[in-house]
Structure 1
């Protein structure tokens, strides 16, 4: 099979128009990559066109990619989209807390928001505490705090379309943030009491 154009393949993967043969070609390359392949785009393609049952073992090892944090970022997105956040809970928690090799916090920011989506359906007092601590820490930068706050909003029942636009500045001491933090704190206290 001639090597497909990755841009075209990714565009088609977004709309479910990738053949089974093309998916298998991508899976084969991910499983045995060479230096000239763009692993980020390949993992993105398999995330859109593949499935957890057939391709989890190809994507999961990239969660821990200290040499290329963007590979960890796309792997964390794909595994979450496949409904596997809970299976990799400890890895996502570490990303939410911050790992030393994620210099620009690309992985952390994605993990903070994705943790909120997970918490909307599941319980994890450790994730919830991490999001609260991050959102309220004046030592964190504004983008990281905003990702944690968005995650908390999702965890407490907000829909993604109800979050303030990413172009909108959020006042961390404003009424929206205070309401989100109040709800998150109440939930955290309830979960801690039920875990006793």
Structure 2
């Protein structure tokens, strides 16, 4: 390396091989990788590599806020509006708090979670975590990314599994909230059932 400090990352090992060596921003470490070969690659993270980035905590927090937002909705009122066949009732349902909050927390929240996953993945790569779980999995589900990322970080660095357990707790919280919302919706539907069949 030159006198100017290069950022931390994988660089050619300068030993005549195809290997790359991890530069931690100050000095060379003993971590090597063999890119683009079928050789066994050392997938051990450099000593002291951070496995918890701010972005993973934001992802978990956003998921909690999404569930809380859905619990604040008056689902009974939304269902009453939805079951009103008049144009005014349908417009009221489309512009209701329930409709707006669920749309914002759904699509807006998903976009934010996918963005955070890519920022988290990039941060893990900058820390020198070899082949971190790819952020593209967050498009399938943010939970898939968080759990996969935790398992891979644990294999590479020996730590980082806590976010998996937090994600599972958030999923359980969301499941309980969903069961409660479905119960409210069914109660309103059964309340309106006689008038719908009349």
TM-score bucket (shorter structure): under 0.3
Which has the larger share of helix?
A: 1
Using the size of structure 1 for normalisation, the TM-score is: 0.28
Which has the larger share of strand?
A: 2
Larger-Rg structure: 2
**Which structure exhibits the higher relative contact order, with contacts defined as CA atoms closer than 8 Å and separated by 6 or more residues?**
2
